[in-house]
Chains A and B, each alone.
Chain A
């Protein structure tokens, strides 16, 4: 009897894992999502890269806005080193009109985004990855043709003032990957906006 319960639990384990999204070491799913230039984009489209910085973010959230300049700076610095930023907006514009497709194009122009900004249709990738808030970062490293999750969480530890941040979680993780060293802190939490999930039909 005990054994059968154990077997049942073990059988359910992958599903429990699925519901909670990715953990460090998991293989990240690729996607094909509409970019603000109207074209579809996948991780597979990236070339000469060693990985990718996938960031769930959006237009409306004040905390996401506080990090826009930092995300641009990270992309500029690490794209050349093989880790470009790919931003995904998982929010339903029916709930948050500021997060519509036209508004995404507009925001990208205003801020001069140097990275793709994709519509995460039906919040599907946010669900798959396990993102809960904006901004929410998944640092991926390419292993063969796979992308493996190496770091999950915040960009740094001071949303208000980048110059006062004394823990640069994401940059530290990137530096470790580039140096071929182990990442000291593989996950972190920060305040952010809840994802405005698309209603599932």
Chain B
């Protein structure tokens, strides 16, 4: 009986964890370019580049998680951690923080052409964030952002 209860409890807790933790999609550059191509109808798409080792990135994540709750916003978090860190670090981190935004890990090493293609203004420093307005207008920001700064870009016509 005790054992049954334990198993029940175990399956219950696992399902909660599964509910909270988003899957992390490992992507290549082509998929990233596709992601950065357009925004869904009536929505602002936000693509944020971060890593578990980047402190300002982690500090600004709650702000992106918060705006992701808005109807007209869609947040995509692209981890620049190495693929070897996926299970050990990135998944653990995503679970611990119960991240609800769409999660990716960019599995590429030759980044010079990719950084430039994502946005000319991007020097490669992270955090870096790309905003695609409902009308397709691109805004790029390098460095940590506050929720207010994020909202001011979303609110732009």
Chain A residues proximal to chain B, CB less than 8 Å:
62, 96, 132-133, 136, 153-154, 157-161, 164, 166-167, 169, 188-195
Contacts and interface: CB of A to CB of B under 8 A. Distances in A.
Contact of B80 (A153, A158, A191): A191
Interface residues of B, number: 22
A85 B126 CA distance: 25
**Secondary structure class of chain A's binding surface, majority of residues:** loop
Interface stretch (B39-47, B91-99, B104-112): B104-112
B10 interface: no
B126 A194 contact: yes
A190 B109 contact: no
B134 to A, nearest CB: 29
B42 to A, nearest CB: 32
A71 B39 CA distance: 41
A154 B112 contact: yes
Contacts of A164: 109
Interface of B: 51, 53-56, 80, 82, 109-112, 115-116, 122-127, 142-144
Contact of B116 (A159, A189, A194): A189
Contact of A133 (B109, B116, B125): B125
Contacts of B55: 96
Contacts of A167: 110, 112
Given A190-B124, A191-B115, 19 more contacts: A132-B125, A154-B112, A154-B124, A157-B109, A158-B109, A160-B109, A161-B109, A189-B112, A189-B123, A189-B124, A190-B115, A191-B51, A191-B125, A192-B123, A192-B124, A192-B125, A193-B125, A193-B126, A195-B125
A190 B80 CA distance: 11
Contact of B110 (A132, A158, A195): A158
Contact of A160 (B82, B122, B125, B143): B82
Contacts of B143: 194
Given A158-B110, A160-B82, A160-B109, A191 B126 contact: yes
Contacts of A96: 55
Contacts of A157: 109-112
18 contacts: A132-B123, A133-B124, A136-B123, A153-B112, A157-B109, A157-B110, A158-B109, A159-B111, A166-B110, A189-B111, A189-B115, A189-B122, A191-B111, A191-B115, A192-B123, A193-B54, A193-B125, A194-B143
Contacts of B80: 191
A160 B53 CA distance: 14
Nearest to B82: A160
Contacts of A161: 109
Contacts of A153: 112
Contacts of B126: 191-194
A35 to B, nearest CB: 26
Contacts of A190: 111-112, 115, 124
Nearest to B49: A191
Nearest to B113: A189
B28 to A, nearest CB: 16
B155 to A, nearest CB: 25
A96 B53 CA distance: 13
B50 to A, nearest CB: 11
Contacts of B115: 189-191
